[in-house]
Amino acid sequence: MKDEVRTIVEKIGGVVEEVKKSEIYVRIPQQTVRTAARLLYDSEAYFKTCVGVDEREVNGFYTIYHIFGLDSQGVDIVLKVLVPEEDPQTSSIVSEVPAADWCELEIQDLLGIKFGGRLTKRLVLPEDWPDGVYPLRKEFRYDEKPSRVIREELHEEAGIPVGPYHPALHEPEYFELYVEGEKVVDVAYRGFHVHRGIEKLAESPRFTYKQVPFLAERICGICGFVHSTCYIMAVEKAADIETPERAEFIRSIVLEVERLHSHLLWIGVAAHLLGYDAGFMHAWRIREHVMVLAEYLTGSRKTYGINVIGGVRKDLNVDKIDKTMKTIAQVREEFKKLADALLSIPQIKSRAVGTGVLTKSEARALSVVGPVARASGLYRDVRKDYPYLAYGRVSFRVPLYTEGDNLARLLVRVEEVFESIEIVKQLVDLLPGGSVVVEEYDIPPGRKAVAAIEAPRGEDVHFVITGLGRPYRWRVRAPTYQNIPALRAMLRGTPLADAPLTIASIDPCFSCTDRVLVVDIETGRKSFIKLVRGG
Amino acid sequence: MSIAKILEIALKTGRVTRKYPYEPPLLTSEFRGAVRIDPSKCWGCGACVKICPPNALALRNSGKEATLEYFVGRCIFCGMCAEVCPAKAIEVTKEFELSSTSLENLKSRVIHRLTRCSSCGSLVWTEAELKSVVKSSPIAEEYAVLCPKCRKSKFARAASIRIGVGSE
Amino acid sequence: MLHSIAIAILQLALAPVYDGVERKVRAAIHTRIGPPVLQTWYDLIKLFSKEVVIPVGGGWYTLVTVLEMLTLVTASILLVHVSTVGLAQATIFEAVIFIVLTGIATTLAIMRAVSQNNVFSVLGGFREFSLVLSAEPFLAVSLLLLVSGVEAAASRAIAALILLIAAYVVSGRVPYDIAEAEPELASGVNIELAGPLLGVATVSAVLKKFISATLTVLVFVLLGGLSGLTSLTAVALLTPLTWITHTVVSTLLGRSRVDLAVRFLYTTLFILSSMLLVSYGLGV
Ligand code: SF4
Ligand code: SF4
């Protein structure tokens, strides 16, 4: 433990249960969790997520893990709080750490633990789910289907509906925009229409350690490789499996290839939202080179399927390296021209400047991640802060802007395309020899690990507790989960015409986030007057 | 004027639309499509069923026959089954134009006859597996046609006779 | 007049083809193949062969939509008629009728949009209204001035410029397609339309582009001093060309926002109009 970290840990108090290279587990009593959280937040720690685990058969308690990331030290501090079975409640940390809002409500819905000292509402489960049935408790079978409860409609819809199937967003989600004239004054969000319960599935007898990567890869249709890698990294960390260096390099290369395709996709969509369809078509045309490269490297354009515990299934050879270098050189050249053209379109500048602003302090309070954070002046990038896989071996720049508007987020992504290309180049140059997979390994039960990866949309966090033959608990926190709450701040005061762009500017991935369900409707909100009313 | 640059780019690039299906699709040499199971090689061991993440493969036992069913509608083209198959019976093809108007067309089956234990008559497993086991390991056929339980007792009896201890 | 109508029918039948060419050209700039040239015709045939869907609001709504199209058809025929003689020979009366017709058409369009029980449609209607206010008055003034036969070169040039800009706005292309902006308003003013009624609205949209292109050509014909048969030939040849030019311009730009668009148009057209006033007053 570094001295700085030790001082912080000592200040928190509690029992240090486990110290690993990049994780420190501290068990603290329920009464002090709030002060501990405050202390960590004041020590520049970001909030990553919280996890509720039914560990009754292990230690007789429900356990809550609050994961804090000390970015400056590259260390995660995990606060562990035990909640007794007979009195499942604990105190909330939302007042100190606003970013903990969603995950606490998620735990409440799925595990049935009440959080004192905060506003609570049903969040995760659909409205017709019966009360008192908690799917993440171990006694709940993964294929159980509780009977529906018909409830009265809780609210009436008002305002400008954007969703659930909005042409601009192509994913099921629902925003309700309250407008004055053409200015958005407030926002209600409701998502999670496509909750798939995969965390439960992965710990069910239906799955094994070896199969989960394929499930994880399907969390997201755009950056699935991030999820399979992150899951595998967590398992490998927990079980101390040494992956061959060459495999780590290949994973890093594929991760950057995935980022290229993801950013190019997003830039195209942003152009389309701004009515510049030529930008859309050309961005996707360039992206096609990346897709073909991905297929050549992995066997599939998307959901690459090459990740296994202990390494990767496909090695690189001379031809593949050659094709990689050629493709990224071509993408670089073509994208340079397109980016110049795109940024010279007057409407793009005038509509992206000053719209959807997220200030640095708001960004900090919500612990936002990825390009959203970097566009609001937070220097955060998992690749730099917690160098994983081969990222410690390459040098690259982290684009940083302070304006926090849609243009800043656009520019961050444009620059990251070039940085990714540089990273791939360096990785290919440094590619070590050797095998790409270890076949023999052993995953003892009861081990824990946090893994994080810089996905195209920001930090992706996976937390694993190992079990017998499969994870005992696997928690996924996708980047969008952390960024959606910031939309409310971003959309207020934005012209309605720029709302779709603003929503899209966090590069939302609703299906990643939708492993759980969120409703954000406060009864008080209805007092807002619908200023634009049809008919 | 840099906004007009896009015209220059378009002119240089030409047309990228492919007239698929009138033109062949662009597939790289690494592309993984649907899998094909060679019935003459498959033993019906079930290793592929165990690894298949989305349950696209299933092994059903009717008492007389064991059926390995591949439902391409669930397949995610990961190729894990081909990797684990001990008989090398699974081939990853480049087929991806799989849509069909009938569900049956999306299923393919390998049917195995089951053998029974020559001593007690309980199920052993597929004939194909039996044959390949006999072929690949030094096990006498008289043992191979027995179920594990009978095999054990027969072996114990034989051994005890050999070392001169009377059985029972 | 009869042969004007015959020519008008031919021209109007060609308008959807020009629209098809527009889609092809745009596709080419996007490096794509695009739909067949006759696609707009195919679309119309398909839409008109569907069952009639009357939106909530009933027959009145249908009437407004159809009336809007008919007004635009009349305005188009009038323009074609003018092109057989040349803009210089057109009477002030014809110009006024044309201005009134386009005015009625936009009023009807806005009426049908805001009368819908749909926020997207209503918002689209308001946007259309703001946009029309910031372009059509200038269009009217400059058109009247040109038809009245100003001789001074500077005045003519400025009036022509105003007309060209305003005519482009009328065409409803990017950056001024904000009334039906897909991403934010999901087709806005057209959101409640389906089947033959959407076909009617599609015809209206094509006609607006036609009027925009023809008007632009007429300005050049006037400046070139053409009349009679030469004028007619020039219009027939230049209309598709102008159409394509409009297409290329729209492909190079992004969509504006209602406040930005209005501000931009007002400042530009206002400055130009002031200049026009000064030059007209000075007689240059
Ligand atoms: S032999 Fe191969 S194909 Fe046949 S059941 Fe076993 S693993 Fe599957
Ligand atoms: S390719 Fe993958 S999904 Fe398809 S049958 Fe084989 S193991 Fe199952």
Choice between A322 and A145, residue whose per-residue pLDDT is larger: A322
**Interval A122-131: pLDDT, tens:** 777 888 888 8
B80 contacts A341? CB cut-off 8 A: no
Amino acid sitting at position A416 = E
Of B27, B30, B53, which has the smallest distance from its Cβ to A214's Cβ? B53
Q: Are strands B35-37 and B90-92 parallel, antiparallel or unpaired?
A: antiparallel
Which of these, A43, A133, A151, A162, lies nearest to A96 by C-alpha position? A43
Residue C129 pLDDT more than 90? Answer: no
Task: Give the position, in ligand 1's atom list, of the atom nearest the Cα of B68.
Answer: 5
User: Rounded to a whole number, what is the distance in angstroms from the first to the last CA of chain A?
Assistant: 66
Task: Tell me what pLDDT residue A531 has.
Answer: 28
Amino acid sitting at position A165 = Y
Please give the class, per CATH, of domain A3-116. Answer: alpha beta
Residue A516 pLDDT more than 70? Answer: no
Choice between C225 and A320, residue whose per-residue pLDDT is larger: A320
Residue A418 pLDDT more than 80? Answer: yes
Residue B49 pLDDT more than 50? Answer: yes
Nearest ligand for residue B80 CA: 2
Close Cβ partners of A412 (under 8 Å, ≥ 6 residues apart): A371, A374, A375, A399, A400, A401
Q: Which of A173-187, A512-526, B71-85 has the lowest mean pLDDT?
A: A512-526
Q: Do the domain assignments include residue B122?
A: yes
Asked if residue B33 has its Cβ within 6 Å of ligand 1, the reply is no
Of B2, B16, B30, which has the smallest distance from its Cβ to A299's Cβ? B30
Of C32, C251, C253, which has the smallest distance from its Cβ to B15's Cβ? C32
Close Cβ partners of A139 (under 8 Å, ≥ 6 residues apart): none
Q: Which of A7-11, A233-237, C138-142 has the lowest mean pLDDT?
A: C138-142
In this prediction, residues A197-209 reach a mean pLDDT of: 90
Q: Which two tokens stand for residue C21?
A: 């060419």
Size of interface A-C (CB pairs under 8 A): 98
Chain C residues with CB under 8 Å of B14 CB are: 31
CA dihedral A439, A441, A445, A447 (to 10 degrees): -110
Q: What is the DSSP string of A292-328?
A: HHHHHHHSSSSS---EETTEES----HHHHHHHHHHH
**Interval A54-91: pLDDT, tens:** 999 989 999 999 999 999 899 999 999 999 999 999 99
Of A274, A282, A351, which has the smallest distance from its Cβ to C31's Cβ? A282
Query: CA separation (Å) from B18 to A285, A289, A331, B21, C31?
Result: 12, 14, 20, 8, 11
Task: Tell me what pLDDT residue A533 has.
Answer: 26
Q: What are phi and psi of C212, to 5 degrees?
A: -60, -45
A346 contacts C253? CB cut-off 8 A: yes
State the smallest CA–CA distance between residue B19 and chain C in angstroms: 9
Average pLDDT score, chain A:
86
Asked if residue B72 has its Cβ within 6 Å of ligand 1, the reply is no
Choice between A521 and A309, residue whose per-residue pLDDT is larger: A309
**Interval A344-356: pLDDT, tens:** 888 888 888 888 8
Contact assessment for residue A78 and residue A66, using Cβ atoms and an 8 Å cutoff:
yes
Of C33, C251, C253, which has the smallest distance from its Cβ to B15's Cβ? C33
Q: What are phi and psi of A33, to 5 degrees?
A: -65, -35
Chain A residues with CB under 8 Å of C115 CB are: 535
Which of these, A327, A321, A316, A307, lies nearest to A453 by C-alpha position? A307
Choice between A412 and A497, residue whose per-residue pLDDT is larger: A412
Nearest ligand for residue B34 CA: 2
A158 at C interface, C-beta within 8 A: no
A272 contacts C30? CB cut-off 8 A: no
Which of these, A256, A55, A231, A232, lies nearest to A138 by C-alpha position? A55
Q: Do the domain assignments include residue B138?
A: yes
Kindly list the residues of chain B whose beta carbon comes within 8 Å of any beta carbon in chain C: 3-4, 6-7, 10, 13-17, 19
Please give the class, per CATH, of domain A198-477. Answer: mainly alpha
Task: Tell me what pLDDT residue A160 has.
Answer: 61
* Residue A514 three-state SS: coil
Q: Do domains A3-116 and A198-477 have the same CATH topology?
A: no
Residue C164's pLDDT band, with cuts at 50, 70 and 90, is confident
d(CA A259, CA A213): 19
Percent of chain A having pLDDT more than 90? 57
B3 contacts A344? CB cut-off 8 A: yes
Task: Tell me what pLDDT residue A510 has.
Answer: 58
Asked if residue B35 has its Cβ within 6 Å of ligand 2, the reply is yes
Domain assignments of chain C as residue spans, ordered by start: 2-282
Report for A113-127, A191-205, A424-438, C40-54: range of highest mean pLDDT = A424-438
Contact assessment for residue A81 and residue A90, using Cβ atoms and an 8 Å cutoff:
yes
Cα(B66) to centroid of ligand 2, in Å?
19
d(CA A283, CA A285): 5
d(CA A510, CA A478): 9
In this prediction, residues A447-460 reach a mean pLDDT of: 94
- Identify the domain containing residue B50 by its residue range: 28-159
Q: Which two tokens stand for residue A500?
A: 């779709």
In this prediction, residues C180-193 reach a mean pLDDT of: 68
Residue B132 pLDDT more than 60? Answer: yes
A275 contacts C254? CB cut-off 8 A: yes
Asked if residue B34 has its Cβ within 6 Å of ligand 2, the reply is no
Residue B38's pLDDT band, with cuts at 50, 70 and 90, is very high
Percent of chain C having pLDDT more than 90? 15
Chain B residues with CB under 8 Å of C29 CB are: 6-7, 10
Match 């495999």 to its residue by tokens: A247
Task: Tell me what pLDDT residue A526 has.
Answer: 28
Report for A327-331, C89-93, C263-267: range of highest mean pLDDT = A327-331
Query: CA separation (Å) from C230 to C160, C164, C220, C239?
Result: 20, 21, 12, 14
The complex's ipTM works out to 0.87
| Residue of the CA atom closest to atom 6 of ligand 2 | B81
d(CA A47, CA A95): 13
Q: How many CB atoms lie within 10 A of CB C6?
A: 10
Query: CA separation (Å) from C237 to A477, C104, C215, C248?
Result: 62, 29, 13, 18
**Interval A398-417: pLDDT, tens:** 999 999 888 999 999 999 99
Query: What are residue A78's DSSP bridge partners?
Result: A25, A67
Domain assignments of chain A as residue spans, ordered by start: 3-116, 163-194+482-532, 198-477
Q: Find, in chain C, the residue whose alpha carbon is nearest to that of B9.
A: C29
Residue A523 pLDDT more than 50? Answer: no
In this prediction, residues B138-152 reach a mean pLDDT of: 68
Chain C residues with CB under 8 Å of A350 CB are: 256-257, 260
Cα(B46) to centroid of ligand 1, in Å?
5
Report for A281-290, A474-483, B62-71, C53-62: range of highest mean pLDDT = A281-290
Task: Tell me what pLDDT residue C83 has.
Answer: 78
| Residue of the CA atom closest to atom 6 of ligand 1 | B45
Q: What are phi and psi of B163, to 5 degrees?
A: -90, 10
Chain A residues with CB under 8 Å of B31 CB are: 295, 299-300
Choice between A13 and A471, residue whose per-residue pLDDT is larger: A471
Task: Tell me what pLDDT residue A83 has.
Answer: 94
Q: Do the domain assignments include residue B8?
A: no
Residue A490 pLDDT more than 90? Answer: no
Return the HEC string of chain C: CHHHHHHHHHHHHHHHHHHHHHHHHHHHHCCCCCCCCCHHHHHHHHHHCCCCCCCCCCHHHHHHHHHHHHHHHHHHHHHHHHHHHCHHHCCHHHHHHHHHHHHHHHHHHHHHHHCCCCHHHHHHHHHHHHHHHCCHHHHHHHHHHHHCCCCCHHHHHHHHHHHHHHHHHHCCCCCCCHHHCHHHHCCHHHCCCCHHHHHHHHHHHHHHHHHHHHHHHHHHHHHCCCCHHHHHHHHHHHHHHHHHHHHHHHHCCCCCCHHHHHHHHHHHHHHHHHHHHHHHHHCC
> What sign does the CA torsion over A400, A405, A407, A413 have?
positive
Task: Tell me what pLDDT residue B166 has.
Answer: 46
Q: What are phi and psi of A91, to 5 degrees?
A: -95, 145
Query: CA separation (Å) from A328 to A274, A421, B75?
Result: 27, 6, 31
C32 at B interface, C-beta within 8 A: yes
In this prediction, residues B29-43 reach a mean pLDDT of: 92
List B residues 55-84 in contact with A (Cβ-Cβ < 8 A): 76-80, 83
Q: How many residues does chain A have?
A: 535
A385 torsion bin: left (phi>0), alpha (psi -120 to 50), beta (else)? alpha
Alpha helices in A313-405 (DSSP H): 318-344, 346-352, 360-365, 370-375, 382-385
Cα(B75) to centroid of ligand 1, in Å?
16
DSSP 8-state code for residue A211 = T
Chain A residues with CB under 8 Å of B93 CB are: none
Task: Tell me what pLDDT residue A527 has.
Answer: 26
Task: Tell me what pLDDT residue A122 has.
Answer: 79
Task: Tell me what pLDDT residue A245 has.
Answer: 95
Which of these, C247, B77, B80, lies nearest to A308 by C-alpha position? B80
Contact assessment for residue C101 and residue C138, using Cβ atoms and an 8 Å cutoff:
no
Identify which of B68, B70, B108 to mutate to test ligand 1's pocket (most ligand atoms within 8 A of the CB). Answer: B68
Task: Tell me what pLDDT residue A261 has.
Answer: 94
Q: Which of A240-244, B125-129, C28-32, C275-279 has the lowest mean pLDDT?
A: B125-129
Task: Tell me what pLDDT residue C157 has.
Answer: 83
Residue A165 pLDDT more than 60? Answer: no
Amino acid sitting at position A530 = K
CA A473 to chain centroid: 18
| Residue of the CA atom closest to atom 2 of ligand 1 | B85
* Residue A489 three-state SS: helix
Q: Which two tokens stand for residue A473?
A: 């608990």
Q: Do the domain assignments include residue B10?
A: no
Which CATH number belongs to the domain containing residue B73 in this structure? 3.30.70.20
* Tally of CA atoms within 13 A in the half-sphere of C53 that contains its CB: 11
Contact assessment for residue A496 and residue A160, using Cβ atoms and an 8 Å cutoff:
yes
Task: Tell me what pLDDT residue C115 has.
Answer: 74
DSSP 8-state code for residue A397 = -
In this prediction, residues A5-24 reach a mean pLDDT of: 90
Average pLDDT score, chain B:
83
Q: Find, in chain A, the residue whose alpha carbon is nearest to that of C256.
A: A347
Residue A244's pLDDT band, with cuts at 50, 70 and 90, is very high
Q: How many CB atoms lie within 10 A of CB B93?
A: 13
Match 């008559």 to its residue by tokens: B121
Average pLDDT score, chain C:
82
Chain A residues with CB under 8 Å of C253 CB are: 275-276, 345-347
B78 contacts A305? CB cut-off 8 A: yes
